[in-house]
Structure 1
Amino acid sequence: MLRDSHPNKSITIHDVAKAADVSKSTVSLVLQGSPLIRDETAERVREAARKLGYVYNRRAAELRRQASNTVGVVINDLMNPFFAEVLVGIERRLVDAGYIVLMAHTHESLDRQRKVLASMREQNAAGLIICPAFDTPRTLTKEVQAWGIPLVVMVRSLGAGSYDYAGSDNERGVLLAMRHLLARGHKRIGFLGGRSGVVYEQRLRGYAGALEEAGIRLDERLIIASDPSRQGGSDAMAAMLRIKLKITAAVCYNDITAFGALATLGEHGLRAGTDFALIGFDNVLAAAHSNPPLTTVDIRPDDLGEHAAAALMARIENPQLKRQVYLAEPRLVLRQSG
């Protein structure tokens, strides 16, 4: 139930949000006339504002929305060294241009992502760079654009849209890895790690496409899904070894999955590169120093971060730019594991 305020109290947007049982960002969108909020929610917010006597100061809101020198960067998994290296590239480019980088880690939580984005909006961020958490709705880009904040999506695409994007050619990257293994005579090749999402689907297409090129029928049993983590890679490799289908090689969803797979091979008395061929994806710095050094698909993470930052700065400078898309061209780095 909506509550009347004390007559002497200075009413704020926080009070309206509390009375209407919504977030401050929702109240702000309603008061700005945004079409993104459902009618019943918008009416509840307006009723709360009327009851509390809140008057929306549009001029003050416009002043608050003036660009700052702070850029928000939202990372889904900072435990993965790939994203740490991407962040280095982003920071290098933005700091050199005089921006302050405000970083947040969502740990794949949609609720946390929503909260950090709302906070960055309230901090009047000049722009946002985000690698979306799993299952992020495609409407996120339109919502942020409605805030008037320049946005770049990186690594994980959110499908068709007008937003700027920086990522890699995932399908071609896995295709290169598979062609290498097939040329070395491997016929039973697995795919380890990942579960869902655009990146996973693109990398699987590269896997399936290479098999089709070679005239080899895809065997679903050779695709072992797991969390894209060390533990996920370890568990996926253990599952692959248990099925005893004479698998001699595997491409991993990413390098951190491959590190877990390397450990499990060792626990079973097998060595990558001698007993089993293993290829990662990303080429994080640690890949050159694993045991054995990891063959991987290089998409130059820090360079990708720099391109994401450059796209955001271009968008801030000129909001009318046509859509910017950067796809890192993958290249295979041969080391001992594959």
Structure 2
Amino acid sequence: MTKKNEGPARAPTIMDVAEAAAVSKSTVSLVLQGSTLIRDETAQRVRAEAQRLGYVYNRRAAELRRKSSNTIGVVINDLMNPFFAEVLVGIERCLVDAGHVVFMAHTHDNFERQQRVLQSMREHNAAGIVLCPAIGTPKTLPKEIQQWGIPLVIMVRSLGSGTYDFVGSQNAKGLATATRHLIERGHRRIAFLGGQSGVVYEERLEGYRQALTQARIAFDERLVVPESPTRAGGHAAMAALLERRTGATAAVCYNDISALGALAALGERGLRAGTDFALMGFDNVLDAAHSNPPLSTMDIHPGELGEQAAALLMKRMANPHLKRQTYLAEPELRLRQSG
């Protein structure tokens, strides 16, 4: 006798999981949403039964029913810079531990691309956004995003005064500290390499100038070499500085990635940082401790910066009426062989 074709097996439902785990449907839903309201023992039993049955939680459908989302948008301007990669790790670690899904986008410092990304996040009902603005971002953008009803944290690059939450570092203070360190080591001809425009660049350049003024050292424009804040930019800036024959014996760099490029330019000319020329970075990315020679820098703890951005965003999501939140990392001097 031929067995009748019974068709494909029925997919397990949330009710199947609830029955197998001997709990209610609402308990299963809370566990799969990552709620902390359910006891660990119960939550573990529910997850085990869901896995055994092959049940897949449809988070998107649940979000549509609740008219909410647990997706957080993170918009980074330059993932080629390891600083931002480390910041992103800190953001993701904090948000994922809290049960959120992170949707990351890279703008490559292109404002038009940034606008498309932000609009896409709005269309996908993002629960919040962390943004490191692209060059050229108008000061009105935070207010525009707030009008969408989406909590926002601006990170690293300030957009001036406003009501938005901000996470960054004390840029002027950090560069002043780095410059003073070189002055205390006897250097008088100190260059500023890398960076080109924007609030962060102006703040760090101002810190450099402040330290020179306090030491009664005249500011010399020939010692300031703007370049893209990249490894190639740092290489080009150092090469240009050496060609100018300014008598420079040391340099502070806009960031670590610029300093790593400057290190390479020195090496190509038979010069060694720390012996023939003193060099300081800014950020303290992981690569800084393992360059040749190891790079002295200002440490703003990139991973912790990301965690702070995530923490401020979650506070804003929980209470939209909070006063403006800010976190400014205080740079710490990390002395290694280069400076």
Q: TM-score, normalised by structure 1?
A: 0.81
- Point out the structure with max Rg over C-alpha: 2
**Displacement, 1:180?**
0.4
Give the secondary-structure state (helix, strand or coil) at the position aligned to 1:336: coil
- AA aligned to 1:135 is G
Tell me which residue corresponds to 1:55: none
Tell me which residue corresponds to 1:298: 299
Tell me which residue corresponds to 1:173: 174
**Displacement, 1:65?**
9.8
Tell me which residue corresponds to 1:105: 106
Question: CA contact under 8 A between 1:65 and 1:124: conserved in structure 2?
Answer: no
**Displacement, 1:245?**
1.2
CA distance in 1, matches of 2:330, 2:230: 24
Give the secondary-structure state (helix, strand or coil) at the position aligned to 2:281: strand
Tell me which residue corresponds to 1:253: 254
**Displacement, 1:135?**
1.1
Task: Please report the RMSD computed on the Cα atoms of aligned residues, expressed in angstroms.
Answer: 1.0
For each residue in 1:199-225, what CA deviation from the matched residue of structure 2 results, as whole angstroms up to 9, or x when unmatched? 000000100000000001100110000
**Displacement, 1:320?**
0.3
Give the secondary-structure state (helix, strand or coil) at the position aligned to 2:73: strand
Matched residues, number: 276
Instruction: Structure 2: state its 5+ residue gaps.
Output: 1-63
For each residue in 1:288-335, what CA deviation from the matched residue of structure 2 results, as whole angstroms up to 9, or x when unmatched? 000000000000000000000000000000000000000001101000
CA distance in 1, matches of 2:207, 2:108: 27
- Assess, with a 3 A threshold, how the Cα gap between structure 1 residues 280 and 65 changes in structure 2: closer, same or farther: farther
What are the equivalent positions in structure 2 for 1:1-338 lying under 5 Å apart?
A: 66-338=67-339
Give the secondary-structure state (helix, strand or coil) at the position aligned to 1:181: helix
CA distance in 2, matches of 1:249, 1:64: 61
Q: TM-score, normalised by structure 2?
A: 0.81
- AA aligned to 1:92 is R
For each residue in 1:102-144, what CA deviation from the matched residue of structure 2 results, as whole angstroms up to 9, or x when unmatched? 0000001111000000000001000000000011001100110
For each residue in 1:256-315, what CA deviation from the matched residue of structure 2 results, as whole angstroms up to 9, or x when unmatched? 000000000000000000000000000000000000000000000000000000000000
Question: CA contact under 8 A between 1:173 and 1:203: conserved in structure 2?
Answer: yes
CA distance in 1, matches of 2:246, 2:259: 20
**Displacement, 1:67?**
2.9
- AA aligned to 1:211 is L
Percentage of matched positions with identical amino acids: 69
Tell me which stretches of 4 or more aligned residues in structure 1 moved more than 6 Å.
none
Give the secondary-structure state (helix, strand or coil) at the position aligned to 1:281: coil
Tell me which residue corresponds to 1:10: none
CA distance in 2, matches of 1:251, 1:161: 31
Give the secondary-structure state (helix, strand or coil) at the position aligned to 1:167: strand
Instruction: Structure 1: state its 5+ residue gaps.
Output: 1-62
CA distance in 2, matches of 1:201, 1:326: 19
CA distance in 2, matches of 1:64, 1:196: 46
- Assess, with a 3 A threshold, how the Cα gap between structure 1 residues 206 and 226 changes in structure 2: closer, same or farther: same
